[in-house]
Amino acid sequence: MNISADFLQRLTSALGPASVITDGPDLEPYSVDWRRLFPGTPACVVRPSSTAQVAHIVQVCREAGVPLVPQGGNTGLAGGAVPDPSGTQVVLSLNRMAAVRNVDAVGMTIEAEAGCILKVAQDAASAVGRLLPISLAAEGSATIGGVVAANAGGVNVLRYGMTRSLVLGLEVVLPDGTVANGLRRLRKDNAGYDWKQLFIGSEGTLGIVTAAILRLLPRPKHSVTALLSVADPAAALRLLALAQDELGDQISAFELISATSMQLVAKHAGLKAPIAQGDWFVLIEAASSLPGLREAAEAMLGAAFEQEIALDGVIAESGAQAAQLWALREHVTESEAREGKSVKHDVSVPLTEVPRFLDEAGEALAAGAPGTRVNAFGHLGDGNIHYNVLVDAGQDAGVVNRIVHDVVAAFGGSISAEHGIGQYRVGELARYRAQTELDLARKLKRALDPDGLLNPGKVLSP
């Protein structure tokens, strides 16, 4: 702890002692990310139970010049929600503000507080026959506030867009301690600047999201899940075009899995693909409110074999089998972590460039970082590949980053498609974004947070 007794007294008298954690093992879950790559030391952890309390904490911190790190489910992959090791930063956890405030089945909206677990919000929507389509491996722990602050992606972006496309209204506590209440559930609202967009994906550096209203969709009654093997990523892209012809806008996920990813999942999670091994696999999900989906999926599979695009394939016969196919994809991250050290890259390139990107990045690594292994998988339908490189302890992560990101840049891609910048990619963003864009980002940051007290060192260097 590195803060004055007076400052602590001001926090505890406003929140009550139970909402302020100053030492002991209770601090630990808030101090480090779940992969334990970014260990920090908080000055203390505060757990407000209302927007008014969040605003009060921000004011107290501002008066004392103490930096604040907002935190949701702490499931991020870029170290964006944990404090630095200085012992001077207060972690503001939103996990006590967890209510679903309202679900409107006719208006098709859900209003939830920032600390509401994504899965809880999904289930609340589902209970009234509606779909909250944000779907990611961490949905059992990730929170609505974090999902909005990170503009989370996941496996359904292909059909429903990133989180941004689902946010109708937002409540944000600004760095000066005032509350911007934009909790409107309007489908159309062109009245002036759409300021909420600034905070979506700002990773807690411009304001603290305290509640959100998200758009819902009709919950599809039918779904099909298929796993196919293909010879190479170019064939996977041909399969995407074919699936779009046969299944159209009913495709909700189109995921690419390399043989290496499958091998890791077999080794560490004991799960095996029920089809003949190929070098690459594609997991497709389609969903619809109308019947006829399975027939369409069978026609697609037949055409994929006929046109020699797919080597092998299976359509799940039941919900349980669909879950087994998804488990293969969902266990890649965890299996990769068990294998050892990896250098993660969350990149996107224009969709049609994915095969060439994979070839060229592979060649560049073989030349510049021999002995490394690539674990590539991800959201092919979005041009977003998790191009993770398995390295041994001695390998310099910076060298690997440079090789991969230079190839990404050559294809006009992004060094962070969905995971954000956090603290992990601050240097990479500064390197690959144009100066004008970085200057604009700094102007926005200075305008909203002139003292630089909100999540310092994340996204932009201090």
Q: Which is nearer to ligand 2HG, 265 or 407 (CB)?
A: 265
Q: How far apart are CA 449 and CA 176, in angstroms?
A: 7
Q: Which is nearer to ligand 2HG, 205 or 261 (CB)?
A: 261
Q: How far apart are CA 411 and CA 223, in angstroms?
A: 35
Q: Which is nearer to ligand 2HG, 153 or 207 (CB)?
A: 153
Query: Least distance in Å: CB of 262 to ligand 2HG?
Result: 14
Q: Which is nearer to ligand 2HG, 103 or 332 (CB)?
A: 332
Q: Which is nearer to ligand 2HG, 78 or 453 (CB)?
A: 78
Nearest to 109 by CA among 180, 172, 189, 49: 189
Task: Identify residues 101-140 at the interface with ligand 2HG (CB under 6 A).
Answer: 137
For residue 99, give every residue at least 6 positions away whose Cβ sits within 8 Å of its Cβ, in sequence order, or none.
112, 113, 116
Structure tokens at 284: 């497709």
Task: Identify residues 274-293 at the interface with ligand 2HG (CB under 6 A).
Answer: none
Residue with tokens 């969905």: 418
Q: Which is nearer to ligand 2HG, 344 or 405 (CB)?
A: 344
Regarding 143 and contact with ligand 2HG (CB under 6 A), the answer is: no
The answer to whether the CB of 90 falls within 8 A of the CB of 68 is yes
What distances in angstroms separate CA 5 from CA 8, 12, 22, 31, 64, one per listed residue? Answer: 5, 10, 11, 21, 12
Q: Which residues of 83-119 are buried (b: 16+ CB within 10 A; e: fewer)?
A: bbeeebbbbbbbbbbbebeebeeeebbbbbbbbbbbe
Query: Least distance in Å: CB of 388 to ligand 2HG?
Result: 5
Task: Identify residues 433-462 at the interface with ligand 2HG (CB under 6 A).
Answer: none
Q: Which is nearer to ligand 2HG, 246 or 330 (CB)?
A: 330
Query: Least distance in Å: CB of 193 to ligand 2HG?
Result: 31
Q: Which residue is nearest to ligand 2HG (CB)?
A: 333
Q: How far apart are CA 226 and CA 273, in angstroms?
A: 11
Task: Identify residues 403-432 at the interface with ligand 2HG (CB under 6 A).
Answer: none
Cβ atoms < 10 Å from Cβ of 168: 22
Query: Least distance in Å: CB of 345 to ligand 2HG?
Result: 8
Cβ atoms < 10 Å from Cβ of 259: 15
- Which residue type is seen at 461? S
Q: Which is nearer to ligand 2HG, 41 or 324 (CB)?
A: 324
Write the interaction track for ligand 2HG spanning residues 154-193; mark x where CB under 6 A is met and - where it is not. ----------------------------------------
- DSSP H or E stretch at residue 373: strand 373-379
Q: How far apart are CA 5 and CA 19, in angstroms?
A: 16
Structure tokens at 439: 């200057």
Task: State how beta strands 68-71 and 89-93 pair.
Answer: parallel
Contact with ligand 2HG (CB under 6 A): which of 196, 215, 386, 445?
386
Q: Which is nearer to ligand 2HG, 77 or 287 (CB)?
A: 77
Number of residues binding to ligand 2HG, judged by CB under 6 A: 6
Nearest to 369 by CA among 336, 417, 337, 401: 401
Task: Identify residues 31-90 at the interface with ligand 2HG (CB under 6 A).
Answer: none
Structure tokens at 198: 């600034």
Q: How far apart are CA 225 and CA 247, in angstroms?
A: 12
Query: Least distance in Å: CB of 386 to ligand 2HG?
Result: 4
Query: Least distance in Å: CB of 77 to ligand 2HG?
Result: 6
Structure tokens at 120: 């809880």
Contact with ligand 2HG (CB under 6 A): which of 71, 388, 423, 455?
388
Query: Least distance in Å: CB of 163 to ligand 2HG?
Result: 13
Write the interaction track for ligand 2HG spanning residues 311-350; mark x where CB under 6 A is met and - where it is not. ----------------------x----------x------
Interface contacts to ligand 2HG, rule CB under 6 A: 137, 333, 344, 378, 386, 388
